[in-house]
A and B are shown apart, each in its own frame.
Chain A
């Protein structure tokens, strides 16, 4: 515990140090404050932009899009992972595709998706979903592979049916790896959708950042960037903490 605290303290000190250094570089004029706002300025800009209410609709839109893509990706990824686990031949056939999936820049398909579905939220959901779901499927496979067979036998001795075995034994047994998948899926969905909005969209946080950039509105741009960064980091940290708690329980510490 104390070791973990020390590591955590070190990490916070590192980030705080970097932020402080950046602040000093900007304020001393070594870095042009018009090009890069000092962190304190970014924070102030973020508060101002959010409080003005001018981007509330974009925030809601981005987060609902992420939530929908993420939810679909998790459900579909778990289903595909379970299916591939149950069908080893299919799995062997698809394995090279899965392994090289993230080597392909999915964004190249985004214009195609827009052409197909129109400039609305559907291509964004597809992009976020496609970025996220394969990570979820692969984590599901890992979790199922690691579930000891003897636990399945124990389920049968307890006379559990298929559904109860899945819910009461397989799901918790695989939960550390599933949580890893959920964490990755959220990050990928977020990246995919913000980037999609950035490239081509009429609303959303990514669009607003791009718009601010194009119109030389540095305060809005940096304020929104910081906002996206904070939200993404906070969500990731929360899932990570949950995952770590589950894993620690399994390793006896």
Chain B
């Protein structure tokens, strides 16, 4: 990462949920995400991954420390150029698939022809072409998540954050969706941060995998994968893949045990 200016940066960030429960959810942690990088983040459940995403996206203010995007301090609003795909289904159920995807473009005030062109392109790219006029409720969970990805990618964000977007999908679909995400990343040149609980997904997709500790989440290791840029899901059969996954697990296992203890306590 040396030489490249950080595209997004966290310095000394913590996040505490105030209130009667007072949960110290995150940090303190530092993070540099390089421009154009594909970074995966893994960590035990409840360690603060979604909280990390909220802070990076400008959806939540850090309790201490600073968040930066493109050399500007993030304060209070989501900066222009950031796209988020949430863990939960965030498609708008009252809009058709095409209208969901066009939502952000309409707000941006583009003209109709341009919107149609971009929407068609995004629908085609995500394999949603024939569902343009369907409503989200008529689609499976995986298809709805694709709608959300398409809605994000039409806006051509420079930094795409995804929070366990394939969590609800079966293994085969997840592998294929991973391929699509890689294609998307290569085509747009965007910086990607993918939160996942699946070690194989992280190992297969990312340039670099950040491993988080049990709550309050901090980074305990960054593991570079060394894959070429034009990789796809077939890297799972490469001999290094097993070693990589094993390495991630050796970092994560004690943290997962700790997180289980927290959950029981």
Binds B, one of A25-33, A62-70, A148-156: A148-156
**Do residues A157 and B92 form an inter-chain contact, with CB atoms below 8 A?**
no
**Nearest CB of A to B13, in Å:** 19
Instruction: Indicate if the CB atoms of B90 and A153 lie closer than 8 Å.
Output: yes
- Measured between alpha carbons, how far is A172 from B91 in the docked complex, in Å? 12
Write out the residue numbers on chain A whose beta carbons fall within 8 Å of the beta carbon of B84: 153-154, 157
Judging by beta carbons under 8 Å apart, are A158 and B94 in contact? no
Q: When A159-B77, A160-B107 are in contact, do A154 and B137 touch as well, CB less than 8 Å?
A: no
**Quick check: is B182 within 8 A (CB to CB) of the other chain?**
no
Q: Which residues of B contact A252 (CB under 8 A)?
A: 135, 137-139
B93 at the interface (CB under 8 A from A): yes
Stretch in A97-105, A200-208, A214-222, A243-251 with 4+ CB within 8 Å of B: A243-251
State whether A249 touches B135 (Cβ < 8 A). Answer: yes
Q: How far is the CA of A191 from the CA of B77 in the complex (A)?
A: 47
Closest Cβ neighbor of A161 among chain B residues: B77
By a CB distance below 8 angstroms, the chain A residues around B38 are none
Which residue on A lies nearest to B57, using beta carbons? A157
Interface of B is mostly: loop
Shortest beta-carbon distance from B87 to chain A in Å: 8
- Total count of chain A residues near the partner, CB < 8 A: 21
Chain A residues within 8 Å of B32, by CB: none
B181-197 contact mask (Cβ, 8 Å, vs A): 1 or 0: 00000000000000000
Structural contact, A250 and B83, CB atoms closer than 8 A: no
Residue A22 is within 8 A (CB to CB) of chain B in the complex: no
A residues contacting B by CB (< 8 A) are 148, 150-151, 153-154, 156-160, 164, 168-169, 172-173, 175, 246, 249-252
Q: State how many angstroms separate the Cβ of A29 from the closest Cβ of chain B.
A: 56
Contact indicator A250/B59 (Cβ below 8 Å):
no
What's the nearest-Cβ distance from chain A to residue B75, in Å?
13
Over the window 109-146 of chain B, the binary record of Cβ atoms lying under 8 Å from chain A Cβ atoms (1 yes, 0 no) is 00000000000000000000000000101110000000
Which B residues lie within 8 Å of A173 (CB)?
92-94
* Contact among A148, A158, A250 for B137, CB-based, below 8 A: A250
CB < 8 Å neighbour of B59 from A156, A160, A249: A156
Contact of A172 among B92, B104, B135, B139 (CB under 8 A): B92
